[in-house]
Structure 1
Amino acid sequence: MKLRELAHSRTGNRGDTSNISLIAFDAGDYPLLRDQVTAARVKAHFGDIVAGEVIRYELETIGALDFVLHRALGGGVTRSLALDAHGKSLSSALLDLEIEADKD
């Protein structure tokens, strides 16, 4: 199943770094997200878009994960030729990540 069935996302940026928060709709799904959506999986999911390190922070009390993607915006808003220099569409792209879960 795609992440978008269990969570929503918000994105921010600073320079060439994008920050993506993944927030479970239901707190009961947080452990599934925590176990399957690792920094390594997020980096692999974005492929060449993220040239730097991906760091994951766990925010269990609010059922969220926060990912910091370094060197993800083509040099930053004022330097990038990317159509989405702010990286707002990265949150939608993350929600396309497939995870293993029961449909129940």
Structure 2
Amino acid sequence: MSTSDRIIRVPLHEVAHGRTGDKGNRVNISVIPYRDEAWPLLLEQLTPERVKAWFAAKGAGTVMRYELANLPAMNFVIDDVLQGGVNGALNLDGHGKSLAFHLLSIPVDVPERLALHPEKARPR
């Protein structure tokens, strides 16, 4: 196995970027890999169940994942995570803008060559 094929664990933001939006008590978070070859690896690891567990402390309800293979990207729609929404929550981030980065901090396992800063990663 070459060094570039070595599997390492990194935060998702080393492999992808994200965008977020909100409506009421629902947030949607898009995840877009920097390199197309990361797409199938992210599909395997970023399941709705795993994302729901990652947001459990925020009270996440239903999590739906929409796959946009032509981009490639995916969009997660997470219910009940905004603590009532912009007008109903005492949350400092009622719009959920920081939630994209919360998702981008989830650990993923990828070949070293796909990480932006592999030297900072923890070997598996």
- What interval of TM-score do these two structures reach, taking the shorter chain for normalisation? over 0.9
Q: Percent identity?
A: 44
- Pairwise CA RMSD of aligned residues? 0.9
Which residue in 1 is equivalent to 2:58? 49
Following superposition, the deviation at residue 28 of structure 1 comes to 1.1
What are the within-5 Å matches in structure 2 for residues 1-104 of structure 1?
1-104=10-113
Q: Would you say the 8 A contact 1:23–1:63 is kept in 2?
A: yes
- The runs of 5 or more residues in structure 2 that have no matched partner are 1-9, 114-124
User: Post-superposition shift, 1:102?
Assistant: 2.0
Amino acid of the residue matched to residue 74 of structure 2?
L
TM-score (norm 1): 0.96
The number of equivalent residue pairs is 104
Q: Is the 8 A contact 2:55 2:81 kept in 1?
A: no
Question: How far is the alpha carbon of 1:50 from its aligned partner?
Answer: 3.4
For structure 1, list consecutive stretches of 5 or more residues without a partner in the other structure: none
Distance 2:47 2:67 in 1: 10
Report if aligned partners of 1:50, 1:69 keep a CA contact under 8 Å in 2: no
